[in-house]
Amino acid sequence: MSPESTPLPPVLLDVPLGEWPSMIGVSGAEIYRVRQLQDWFFQRRIKSFDEITVWPAALRRACAEKLTLRSLVPDGQVASAEDGTVRFTYKTRDGLLFPSVFLHPPQGGDPVDPDEDEVPGGRSSLCLSTQVGCAWGCSFCASGRVPFKRDLTQTEIVEQIFWAEELTGRRLQSILFMGMGEPLANYENVVRALQWIRGSEGLHYGLRHVTVSTTGLVPQIQQLSKGAPAVNLAISLHAADDETRKKIMPRSARWTIKEVLKAAWDYQVKTRGSRLTFEYVMLDGINDSQRNAQRLSNFLRHRKCWVNLIVYNPVPGLPFQPSTEEKVKKFSDILSERGIWTRVRRPLGKDIGAGCGQLSV
């Protein structure tokens, strides 16, 4: 077999936890080695088995021959001069590139998470990707113009957290599945990643600090409430009527707004406490009229939910423009007057192509 065809060793996080003992070759009285590996990997963030100084050299060598701990390689980063947002680019083991975005609003600025507590030194969040490219083709989004290559693995999803904290030197308070790709179209890998992120055997993030975004894949939303770790759900609605949604989100609009909302309400009930947010990008002359605001409020009144109004970040080559400040305010006022918690999201990372809807490779 030639060196070029030699298969790469599996990555640790792609191995189910129950198989770790046999994979590293321990059992019986030595099973505590698995707990040591968990501690050194998740807490100390080792990148090599040689770093586990409490292990005998023979065990370190044996594991290094069978497994690798990291699969991604950082391939560049750029920081916003306006707000401190950092856009990372990673290279996968098969040579593909994809981004993630570190968000650190200034102290006193709008939190990325609408229910986030004040954190000394500011709130830090990671907007991570779940696919290389995106096949969902929302007409206003830069990611929708990037040809879909493949789903990211559970390891590649979780590793974005490790690298973001290492490269910035900051602890992440919130994990947002809002980068490149449709998370629920990569359902199995996203759920496995959530098990590592939320689980006590992994990073142990609390429910309030993990949000999964979706353009409204109804079957997967329904499935998510059956056995997956509970998370906050963010629905990219972006329209108040099905006709407009079909124009700007042609694939996701295969499910009507009423179908999407029913799946969302059911998810909220079944998960007993997850926060439900609706994302609504404000497109001038498309979905920003007072009538649109009234329709949206009719859908959401008397429900426990939040609405994030996102001022559109223009993408070169696309024919959309952001709504005027006056239209955004009036839209927000109508929702608020009808008892719907509403916030206008301040754009972050616009100058480095890291704002909402701007992500491409």
- Cα separation of 254 and 16, whole Å? 35
Each as own residue / partner, the long-range contacts of residues 310-313 (CB below 8 Å, 24 or more positions apart, any chain) are: 310/279, 310/280, 310/281, 310/282, 310/345, 310/347, 310/356, 310/357, 311/282, 311/344, 311/345, 311/347, 312/140, 312/281, 312/282, 312/283, 312/284, 312/357, 313/347, 313/350, 313/355, 313/356, 313/357, 313/358
Query: pLDDT above 70 covers what percent of the chain?
Result: 93
Q: If we measure between CA atoms, which residue out of 127, 146, 119, 123 comes closest to residue 135? A: 146
357 or 148: whose pLDDT is higher? 148
**Catalytic (active site) residue 356:** yes
pLDDT of residue 5: 59
Confirm if 161 and 126 have CB atoms less than 8 A apart: yes
Catalytic hit among 63, 138, 141, 356:
356
- 118 has pLDDT over 50: no
First to last CA, the chain: 34
- Give me the mean pLDDT over the 198-224 stretch: 96
Indicate the average pLDDT of the chain: 92
Q: At residue 313, does pLDDT exceed 70?
A: yes
Which position has the higher pLDDT, 205 or 108?
A: 205
| pLDDT tens digits, one per residue of 47-89 | 999 999 999 999 999 999 999 999 999 999 999 998 889 999 9
Please, what sign has the CA dihedral across residues 171, 49, 152, 275? negative
Judge whether residue 114 has pLDDT over 80: no
Selecting from 1.20.1640.10, 3.40.50.720, 3.20.20.70, 3.40.30.10, what CATH number does the domain 73-352 have? 3.20.20.70
- Residue % of the chain over a pLDDT of 90: 81
Quick: pLDDT tens for 245-260: 999 999 999 999 999 9
Give the global pTM: 0.93
